Amino acid sequence: MFIANWKMNGSQSMLLDWLKGVDKTLDKSLQKNCLLCPPVCFLSEASNLISKSNLNISLGAQNIDPNCFSSLTGGIDGAMLKSFGSEFVIIGHSERREVFKEKDSLLLEKLKSASKNELKVIFCIGESLKDKQENQTEKVLKQQLQIIKKVDLNEFMIAYEPIWAIGSGETANIDYIDKVHRGIIDEVSSYQKEGFKGVSYGGSVDSTSSKDILSIKGVKGLLIGGASLQYQEFCNIVLSNH
Ligand code: PEP
């Protein structure tokens, strides 16, 4: 799965150009592995364009608000995301953990909301540079994974994103990704959750680094931020898998 996380970027014209470009460059069998996560305001339009042009791309949201609040100004819940055409949702991205101080208790409610609305989850985990330097990566990641045990998810993928690699231009090295992914797979497999679909890597991936990362056995996909904004670069990453 190739996940394009546009973060807070995009416009209607960019969306149109991006979808047209991807359709022109990737055949339908390759489109099947592509997931576009634009800002929520573009989901509905993206869904209409995808159906109208018969594209084979899936859509996801970058965030979800939990159902546990009876009133939440500005909130968007799982049912709304579904009605906009979203099949997936990203939960636990480090930017939201850091900027909005999203803690495990809130992330658990978000996971429950996704589950209730049958949204497929991309659950992000990652260590800081300090954690890495202090050899705490394994411990930190295991801790972040614990809430997965507490909820029945239909389908979910873990996105391993070392915080120091996100948007920094510095990708983690192959041996490091391999070792960390093995550890995550062992840990999550021990929870015996049927919906577990594997581990994706994210952190400054572009078309020069993607092939090597995708050759790692435990890497089931890529979560791509900056490099997903240009359709050509995104497609080059997808094509590097062949
Ligand atoms: C991300 O958005 O999660 C991400 C990995 O961004 P970038 O590819 O820009 O590092």
pLDDT digits (tens, 9 = 90+) for 49-67: 999 999 999 999 999 999 8
User: What tokens appear for 131 in the block?
Assistant: 């954690």
DSSP 32-66: TTEEEE--GGGHHHHHHHHHHTT---EEEES----
SS (H, E, C) 122-184: EEEECCCHHHHHCCCHHHHHHHHHHHHHHCCCCCEEEEECCHHHCCCCCCCCHHHHHHHHHHH
What pLDDT, on the 0 to 100 scale, is given for residue 232? 98
Q: Does the pLDDT of residue 152 top 80, yes or no? A: yes
Q: Residue 183: which pLDDT band, with cuts at 50, 70 and 90?
A: very high
Residue predicted with more confidence, 121 or 68: 121
Nearest to 61 by CA among 10, 148, 119, 118: 119
Q: Which of 87, 93, 194, 233 is catalytic?
A: 93
In whole angstroms, what is the distance from residue 212 CA to residue 157 CA? 21
Ligand 1 midpoint to CA 70 (Å):
33
Q: Give the strand pairing for 88-91 and 120-125.
A: parallel
pTM: 0.96
What pLDDT, on the 0 to 100 scale, is given for residue 70? 72
Q: Does the pLDDT of residue 68 top 90, yes or no? A: no
* 242 labelled catalytic: no
* 181 labelled catalytic: no
